[in-house]
Structure 1
């Protein structure tokens, strides 16, 4: 498989980034949903949020790199046979996925740093607060984080269903291109 995209398929960088982001988002959603019900004395009460924040920061860096790569690498041509509506829906969905990713990651960052504290990423480096101490910011950011992650997972589910529809019903190359086949 080539590194860069060509006119008919995605390259190794785009395919790898797509699946790393998808798996990480799903993992963070599952971990986030599970950890909100942990009690103070649960063994994962501190570890769960620390992992969630660390992987969230790393996801942000991967998504930034993915966007930079996408700006420098041409996208494959649309699969022949896609209607104009399908092409527009795909562009809108991809744009909304990126927007929701950045809103979810930004709001997640603000939840932790609203009190002026930094985020330690696996002890490798710290990401400082840019807001200082702002009262009730974590509550507002928490609501935004909750709804944006629900929207992100819902839209990602629709995205996956669309890919499966193209694979099983339309029998076109849409899914195969992102599988690197």
Structure 2
């Protein structure tokens, strides 16, 4: 099933969820690696190029994902979920979206701070919307760095909560966001 049902997420939601998760964790690792690159390192220019392109891809996927959420029903929470679990899950999901947006936008501001666009996988340039001062570029860098950490830690907690539901509570929470529910 492509679309969500009342009991499970559809293939589009599952694909968006897992592709964004994988790309975000890869971006985080590459981002940390890039902070130690010297000018003469062979990856000094290519790693940022890939990081920026995949960062723009995540922002694009986020827009698609939010649109898909608006036009698809959300599966009902499992009856076994406690009210506090539902509340924390709701807050966490919203925070994951907000952090992804802020981290992506701050990365875009860093990359376009001098007025140049950002190349998207060599296909086209995403133009700069404003030129910012070095002080604001540094601020955007701090926001990007610290909120990327917050995003990865929250995503890790999100994953641990899913594993808790799967292995301890033995409910279908994790299965709802995997292909297991889609097999006939």
TM-score normalised according to structure 2 size: 0.96
Which whole-Å CA distance do the structure 2 matches of 1:177 and 1:140 have between them?
Answer: 39
| Cα deviations by residue, 1:75-115 (Å, 9 ceiling, x for unpaired) | 10001210000000000000000000001000000011111
Cα distance in 1 for partners of 2:133, 2:72 equals 40
Could you tell me which runs of 5 or more consecutive residues in structure 1 were left unpaired when the two chains were aligned: none
- The residue that corresponds to 2:156 in the other structure is 157
User: C-alpha separation between the residues in 1 aligned to 2:154 and 2:132?
Assistant: 33
- Segments of 5+ residues of structure 2 without an aligned counterpart are none
* Native 8 Å contact 1:35 1:48 kept in 2: yes
1:10/1:180 contact within 8 Å kept:
no
Partners of 1:21 and 1:8 lie apart in 2 by: 22
Deviation of 1:135 (Å) = 3.4
RMSD (CA atoms):
0.8
Partner of 2:7: 8
Counterpart Cα distance in 1 of 2:59 and 2:77: 28
Distance in 2, matches of 1:133 and 1:144, equals 15
What is the DSSP-based 3-state SS (H/G/I as helix, E as strand, rest coil) of the residue aligned with 1:120? strand
- Aligned pairs, number: 180
- Deviation, structure 1 residue 137: 2.0
Hey, what does 1:59 align to over in structure 2?
58
8 A Cα contact 1:35 1:49, kept in partner: yes
CA distance in 1, matches of 2:44, 2:114: 19
Residue 14 of structure 2: SS of its match in structure 1?
helix
Taking the TM superposition and a 5 Å limit, the aligned residue runs for 1:86-101 are 86-101=85-100
